[in-house]
């Protein structure tokens, strides 16, 4: 028996079991979420994947949970804001001007080189 001899066909104990029917569609289940506004959202999720505890309601944007009697509390009391609104919160107007000028300069530079 020599060292370094490769044993073929050795099973790796930690390998997951293979599904015998490979051509079947991935099994899915339906998970329902309810938001504070009473909107119900059904999502399809792969059967062996854990459902996320919270799902954003596509109708009102509030977090929705799987317990219809106790939907999660809203995480944000503010109305929906645009990305620009968030940026404006973080930046002063002067900074915004500088960033805009920088972006425009970069854009012009890129256009000029083409
Ligand atoms: Zn909703």
- Give the C-alpha separation, 68 to 60, whole Å: 16
3-state secondary structure of 2: coil
Higher-pLDDT residue of 105, 82 = 105
**The pair of three-digit structure tokens given for residue 11, joined into one six-digit string:** 């099973």
8 A C-beta contact, residue 57 and residue 38: no
Cα distances from 83 to residues 80, 86, 88, in angstroms, run 10, 5, 9
Report how far ligand 1's centroid is from the alpha carbon of 48 (Å). Answer: 27
Number of H helices, E strands in the chain: 2, 4
**Pairing label, strands 63-65, 40-46:** unpaired
Report how far ligand 1's centroid is from the alpha carbon of 4 (Å). Answer: 62
Residue 72 pLDDT exceeds 70: yes
Report how far ligand 1's centroid is from the alpha carbon of 41 (Å). Answer: 8
- Give the C-alpha separation, 101 to 114, whole Å: 20
pLDDT (0 to 100) of residue 73: 85
8 A C-beta contact, residue 99 and residue 91: yes
User: Per-residue pLDDT tens for 26-46?
Assistant: 889 999 999 999 999 999 999
Report how far ligand 1's centroid is from the alpha carbon of 62 (Å). Answer: 6
Report how far ligand 1's centroid is from the alpha carbon of 112 (Å). Answer: 47
Binding residues for Zn(2+): 35, 39, 57, 60
pLDDT (0 to 100) of residue 99: 87
pLDDT band at 15 (very low <50, low <70, confident <90, very high): low
pLDDT (0 to 100) of residue 26: 83
pLDDT (0 to 100) of residue 7: 59
- Give the C-alpha separation, 25 to 48, whole Å: 13
pLDDT (0 to 100) of residue 63: 93
């Amino acid at each position: 028996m020599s060292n370094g001899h490769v044993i073929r066909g050795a099973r790796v104990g930690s390998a997951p079991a293979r599904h015998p029917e490979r051509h079947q569609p991935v099994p899915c289940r339906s998970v329902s979420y309810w938001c504070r506004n009473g909107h119900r959202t059904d999502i399809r999720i792969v059967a062996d994947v854990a459902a996320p505890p919270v799902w954003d309601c596509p109708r009102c944007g509030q977090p929705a949970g799987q317990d219809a009697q106790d939907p999660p509390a809203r995480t944000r009391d503010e109305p929906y804001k645009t990305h620009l609104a968030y940026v404006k919160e973080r930046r002063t107007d002067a900074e915004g001007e500088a960033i805009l000028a920088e972006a425009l300069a970069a854009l012009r530079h890129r256009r000029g080189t083409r």
